Amino acid sequence: MSGTHQATYLGMPAFPQAADASTRNTQLRANLRHATHTIRAKRATAVAELDDWSRLRAAGAAIKDRTLRHLDQYLEQLESAVTAAGGQVHWAADADEANRIVTELVRATGEREVVKVKSMATQEIGLNGALATAGITAYETDLAELIVQLGDDLPSHILVPAIHRNRGEIRDIFTEKMAQWGRPAPEGLTDAPADLAEAARLHLREKFLNAKVGISGANFMVAETGTLVVVESEGNGRMCLTLPETLISVVGIEKVVPTFQDLEVFLQLLPRSSTAERMNPYTSTWTGTTDADGPRAFHLVLLDNGRTDTLADTVGRQALRCIRCSACLNVCPVYERAGGHAYGSAYPGPIGAILTPQLRGTQSELDASLPYASSLCGACYEVCPVAIDIPEILVHLRERVVEGGPASVRGTRTVIKPAKGHAAERAAMRAARWALDHPGLLRTGQRLAARTRRFHPRRLPGPGRAWSDTRELPKVPEESFRDWWQRTRGRSATGSRTEGDTGRRTEGSTGGSTGSRTQGSTEKSTGSRTEGRKDTT
């Protein structure tokens, strides 16, 4: 059985290298384009049905902020409520500890097989691999997770982990692999989605009916009542949550919401943002255990694994509002082209680009590259149902990568060193700052640059080459703005000129790589340079 084979994100290359390869995969790009465009229009329609969407969104963000600012209190409240209702609460500081706890809980039941509901938290900690090492087989039961598991593959989307596969590929995977895991695919399986769904139903039926242990995550945990919520479509969630004797739920500590009433906001925001439905087919809620209905034992494993580090960052903290709807993936032009695997973690797309470097830190080359996996177009922020300002966090994390500075790493405050790869950028910025502080030198330099125009290369030499591989070098104008102004109006408007001129210039020049563009010779070019990130529709 291939149950012990576990694809892993370990050792994946940095985003630019991974994306360089994936963007050349035309099949992948066609699959992703088709899927993301299908859901985009549907989401817009589902959201437009509610004329109070922006208020729901603001309330969702506010409820999450309230929770995060008092997370310790809410977790204590949750723990008491779950315990009072017959559940047992465990705490895991990191992935290894969570995996150990779950493995021991499964062993204690004497079972060697478990059924799983799709769960981002267990993907994040690599639970299936840890269980396999302990001789326990975990069966993924979500259709897309099943496709990923059978195909020895990695998830590439939060909602639809197999979004990179089209129906033909799915048919091939089912036909080839189902027999290794249990009931084989029906003879002559077609690639019609309904037939593929039927094949999954037949394949997993026995597993559900025999399952003694179920493992899940949760979309929400209600502190006030100890209630857990799982939102799903297929019914595999209901199977795993109600048929086994033991249920183990691994949930990130940020998934708590204060009250049962608060669900009225999230149960409106999540389905419309996620699958573009008014409501998803099945939502299950349970509070501890219920006599003679559902599992007799319920274990809740509360997972930190970098969440407290994220919480410590007052700018990045808002990423913990995320309800894993995946709307930001579906609208992202970078995700659509690069695909989910390039992000090198269970969390792809814009949310992954801000969550992964906060959960894991920015030390590895891959994690340090993620904040750059964006054009900062802002579409993700626009659709986020809990108003996470993803572009703001991206810029914040880029600054952390380049400049270093204080951050929390595994619960300890440390000062991160600036990343090596950005030494040239930092030197250039220092040089720019110095030049801009010396107007006389700047003027001389600009005139010199203008006179040597025809000798300027089209590509930068040395380490700058990578930058100019995909960009045009800005053209130095024949005449600097300052000289143009001096020549055309210098004599008539001496008084107010200098001040305004300098002011505009400084504003433009702080924009990093746009430095050389500030020499634009007309008023118009100066105006068009203003950052328009938040205005993007």
**Tokens found for residue 408:** 């929390």
Please, what is the minimum distance in Å from the beta carbon of residue 207 to other proteins? 10
Q: How far is the CB of 404 from other proteins (least distance, A)?
A: 20
State the chain's maximal CA–CA distance in angstroms.
Answer: 93
| Subset of 309-348 contacting other proteins (CB under 8 A) | 309, 311-312, 314
Would you count residue 280 as binding other proteins (CB under 8 A)? Answer: yes
Q: Of 15 and 286, which has the nearer Cβ to other proteins?
A: 286
Count, residues near other proteins per rule CB under 8 A: 126
Residue 298 or 381: which CB sits closer to other proteins?
298
Q: What whole-number distance in Å separates Cα of residue 146 and Cα of residue 153?
A: 10
Which residues between 350 and 369 bind other proteins (CB under 8 A)?
none
Out of 16, 17, 25, 90, name the contact with other proteins by CB under 8 A. 90
Q: If DSSP codes are grouped into helix, strand and coil, which group holds residue 257?
A: strand
21: contact with other proteins by CB under 8 A? no
Q: Is 427 near other proteins (CB under 8 A)?
A: no
Q: Based on CB atoms, which residue is closest to other proteins, 137 or 364? A: 137
Amino acid at 8: T
Closest CA to 122 of 35, 248, 240: 248
Regarding 63 and contact with other proteins (CB under 8 A), the answer is: yes
Q: In the set 113, 245, 425, 479, which binds other proteins (CB under 8 A)?
A: 113
- Which amino acid is present at 195? D
Provide the β-strand partners of residue 90. Answer: 301
Dihedral of alpha carbons 21, 25, 26, 31, sign:
negative
Q: How far is the CB of 211 from other proteins (least distance, A)?
A: 8
112 is an interface residue for other proteins by CB under 8 A: yes
Nearest approach in angstroms of CB 171 to other proteins is 10
Reference 238, options 271, 208, 203; nearest CA is 208
* Count of Cβ atoms closer than 10 Å to residue 128 Cβ: 26
The reply to whether 143 sits near other proteins by the rule CB under 8 A is yes
Q: Following CA atoms 382, 266, 93, 77 in sequence, which dihedral angle do they give, to the nearest 10 degrees?
A: 140
- Assess 227 for contact with other proteins (CB under 8 A): yes
Q: Residues 285, 277, 293, CA angle at the centre, nearest 5°?
A: 20
Per-position x/- string for 247-276, each x denoting binding to other proteins as judged by CB under 8 A, each - no binding = ------x----x-xx-xxx-xx--x---x-
Q: What is the DSSP string of 337-393?
A: HH-GGGG-SSS-HHHHHHHHHHHS-S-SHHHHHGGGS-----HHHHH-TT---HHHH
| Of positions 13, 16, 66, 363, contacts other proteins by CB under 8 A | 66
- Nearest residue to 190 via CA among 167, 159, 219, 156: 167
Among 219, 283, 374, 446, binds other proteins (CB under 8 A): 283
Place of tokens 């099945």: 282
Site string for other proteins, 200-219 (x = CB under 8 A): xx--xx--xxx---------
Task: Check binding of 294 to other proteins (CB under 8 A).
Answer: yes
Of 114, 167, 168, whose CA–CA distance to 141 is shortest?
114
Site string for other proteins, 384-413 (x = CB under 8 A): ------------------------x--x-x
**Window of 162-170, 339-347, 514-522, 525-533 that interacts with other proteins by CB under 8 A:** 162-170
CB of 442 to other proteins, least distance (A): 40
Closest CB 236 distance from other proteins, rounded Å: 5
Check residue 62 for interaction with other proteins (CB under 8 A).
yes
Q: Structure tokens of 109?
A: 């039941």
The rounded distance, in Å, linking the Cα atoms of 131 and 268 is 35
317 versus 505: smaller Cβ distance to other proteins:
317
7 near other proteins, judged by CB under 8 A? yes
